[in-house]
Amino acid sequence: MNNNYLLSHRKEEPENGILYLVGTPIGNLNDISQRALNILKNVSLVACEDTRRTKKIMNKFDISNKLMSFNKHNSSIKIPKIVKDLKEGKSIAIVSDAGMPGICDPGEDIARSVKSEGIDIICVPGACAAITALVSSGLPSSSFVFEGFLPKKQIDREKILLEISKNEKTTVIYESPKRLRKLLKELFESCGGDREIIVARELTKRFEEHIGKNIYDAMNFFREREVIGEITIVIKGISKERDFVFNKTDLRKDLKELIKAGLSLSAASKYLAKKNGIKKSLIYNMNKI
């Protein structure tokens, strides 16, 4: 292997006219890279979600540089200014409150705008809560779905919950502590209590916890306990085999209930087939077994 590749970068950083998306810690301040510190120290300007938070990092590492507030409330005013500065040759770092800018924070908007102006973007990678939770969950992690925060609108939310319930891949979700119980209940209703899940709380911090074996366990854990701190949820996908067993038992029960309620076998099968996205004949024939 060519070691020079590992030790050097294409040019001395930061370069003029480049937007740097700089990953910062999600709790433990020691999780910042030397490269990130060099960028924060030497760019023309650091645009950050919360200047007090970023100052904390800068102070810990004895860095002083010009800070500018850049968040979802002022991004429409600040983006044109950042684009103008970059075109004039300044180097700018974007730092979010925690983790990777662009993952569920305004870093996404600035990256899109800057790219559309033909300006180069370079990412200085750092911690990300989704990846940290995923790899420490012990659940399949090489192929996964990241949903960020679920939508608030009920119809959109139900659509995603249904997708999660059928997904064969691991799903990662962000949630606020205030809404965790509601989300667990919704997951229970859509995926069943025995679906494997890990609720990762306060990752990289002093009181880091990885809670649950399955949805039922996690619900029980938080039933009596105040939910505080930052939360990321990792849900195992379904395995085809298990899904078949789960569906067969549940579907047979649903079928019986619908027929008891007065629907014909054909109508009940049609309804359940549509609801579960499977062939009508599979359900129709189930009644005969």
Residues in touch with ligand SAM (CB under 6 A): 26-27, 96, 98-100, 103-105, 128-130, 174-176, 200, 202-205, 230-232
Minimum distance, C-beta of residue 53 to ligand SAM, in the bound complex (Å): 12
Minimum distance, C-beta of residue 244 to ligand SAM, in the bound complex (Å): 33
Question: Helix 75-87 vs helix 107-116: angle between axes, to the nearest 10 degrees?
Answer: 40
C-beta of 95 vs 268, nearer to ligand SAM: 95
Minimum distance, C-beta of residue 197 to ligand SAM, in the bound complex (Å): 14
Q: Which residue is nearest to ligand SAM (CB)?
A: 99
Minimum distance, C-beta of residue 284 to ligand SAM, in the bound complex (Å): 43
For residues 25 and 57, is the Cβ–Cβ distance under 8 A?
yes
C-beta of 75 vs 247, nearer to ligand SAM: 75
Task: Please give the C-alpha separations between residue 63 and each of 36, 37, 54, 57, 113, in angstroms, as whole numbers.
Answer: 11, 8, 10, 8, 28
Question: Helix 180-191 vs helix 154-166: angle between axes, to the nearest 10 degrees?
Answer: 50
C-beta of 204 vs 269, nearer to ligand SAM: 204
DSSP string, 19-53: EEEE-B-SS-GGG--HHHHHHHHHSSEEEES-HHH
C-beta of 53 vs 252, nearer to ligand SAM: 53
C-beta of 27 vs 237, nearer to ligand SAM: 27
In sign, the C-alpha dihedral spanning 170, 174, 177, 183 is negative
